Amino acid sequence: MEGQYQPEVEVAMRSFFEALPERQRRQYAAVEAVKLGHGAVHYLARVLDCDEKTIRRGKREMIEPFFLPPGRSRKKGAGGSS
């Protein structure tokens, strides 16, 4: 991997990440992964305490964005439990 952040930056990143809605979490993690380059998905999943799939999905959404109505962070019917 090209770079890592200082521990105090990692703490701030995690705090910011946790305050975001789901879709913005993916986008933020994806932007950070692009900035850091090779190996960043694994590193950021550890730093942000999220699944690597979340970051990879965010990267896909950056390339092929989909649009949701204002106020929604998921597609209709996604992620709900019965």
- Tokens (6 digits) for 44: 């950021």
Q: Would 79 be classed as within a structural domain? A: no
Task: Report the pLDDT averaged over residues 7-34.
Answer: 96
Q: Would 34 be classed as within a structural domain? A: yes
Q: Would 28 be classed as within a structural domain? A: yes
Q: Which domain holds residue 12?
A: 7-63
26 vs 81, residue with greater confidence: 26
* Number of domain units in the chain: 1
Answer yes or no: pTM beyond 0.85: no
Q: Would 48 be classed as within a structural domain? A: yes
Task: Report the pLDDT averaged over residues 53-67.
Answer: 87
Q: Would 31 be classed as within a structural domain? A: yes
Give the Cα separation of 76 and 40 in Å (integer).
31
Q: Would 39 be classed as within a structural domain? A: yes
Task: Report the pLDDT averaged over residues 41-54.
Answer: 97
Predicted pLDDT at 19: 98
Q: Would 71 be classed as within a structural domain? A: no
SS3 of residue 25 by DSSP: helix
Predicted pLDDT at 66: 65
59 to 7, 18, 38: CA distances (angstroms): 24, 18, 13
Give the Cα separation of 32 and 25 in Å (integer).
11
| Reported confidence tier of residue 55, pLDDT bands at 50, 70, 90 | very high
Give the Cα separation of 8 and 17 in Å (integer).
14
